[in-house]
Amino acid sequence: MQRRLLVAGNWKMHGDKAFTTQFIADFVQEFGGEQRSFDALICTPAPYLSHASDAVSAQSAGIAIGAQNVSPHEKGAYTGEISLPMLSDLGCEYVLLGHSERRELYGETDSHVAEKFAACLSAEPSIVPVLCIGESLAEREAGHTENVVERQINAVLTKVGIDGFKGAVIAYEPVWAIGTGKTASPEQAQQVHAFIRGLLAEHDLSIAENIQLLYGGSVKPANAEELFSQKDIDGGLIGGASLQVESFVGICKAAQKLV
C-alpha cells in the first residue's frame, strides 16, 4: 500500500522569531505553489510555537506545527512544564515524544514516555504523538538493536494497547546517526523499520500497515530519496538539515518525487 510521506523538521534549541518568519516565507516561495502529495511538519522551540502557527496561517503555507516535548499532566504545580491543552491552544498538531536527547540528557524513561503518549490520546483535541525510538552505537555493535526498539515500543503498548498507535507516528532514530554525519544505510534503516512494522502487525495488521514510520539521523537532500524509497520508510525526522530552508525543501522535493 502507499502511505503518505511525512517530512518533519526538528529545530531543537535553534531559531528566533525572525528566523521562523523567514523560514516559512522561503518555504512557501520555493514549494508553496506546488500540489503537495506529502505532509510537512516543523517542530519549533516552545517559545515560538504560536509565532510559527500564525506565520503558517498568514502565508497559507500548509505546514503542520509540532512541539518538541510535553508534560503528561493537563495542569497543576509543574513549574516550567507545558501541557497538551496549551499546545493545542498554540496551534500544535504534533508533538515529539522520547527523542534520544530527552532520554539521554534529561533521564526520560520508557515508562515516562509512555505516559506522555497516553496523555496525547486523551487530550481534546488530540495531538499526534511522534514516538522517537532507537539504539546507541554500543547497543547496535552488541547486536541489541531489535531488543532496544522492542522494549521502547512495548512500554507504550503496555500503556495504551495497539489501538493507541492508530494515527500515531513512530520515528526510528539510531542515536549514533544523530548530528554525527553518519547515516544508517538504506538497507539498515529498512531492516529496522520492517521489524517495527512486523512487531505492530503481531497485534493489528491494519494499524501496522497504515502507521507512518519515519527515519531520523543525518537525513540530507543527497540521501533522502534513497531512504524514502525503502518499502517501510514513510519520510524523515530531520535535524540539522531542517535549519536551512534549501536543504529542507530539497528533502521535501525528494518526497514529492517518490509519490
State residue 1's pLDDT score.
60
**Which residues have a catalytic role annotated?**
99, 173
Q: What is the pTM of this model?
A: 0.96
Single-letter code of the amino acid located at 72:
P
Average pLDDT over residues 217-233: 95
Mean pLDDT of the chain: 94
Residue 164, pLDDT above cutoff 70: yes
Between residues 140 and 204, the one the model is more confident about = 204
State residue 218's pLDDT score.
86
Residue 211, pLDDT above cutoff 70: yes
Write out pLDDT tens, residues 68-93: 999 999 999 999 999 999 999 999 99
Q: Which CATH architecture has domain 6-258?
A: Alpha-Beta Barrel (3.20)
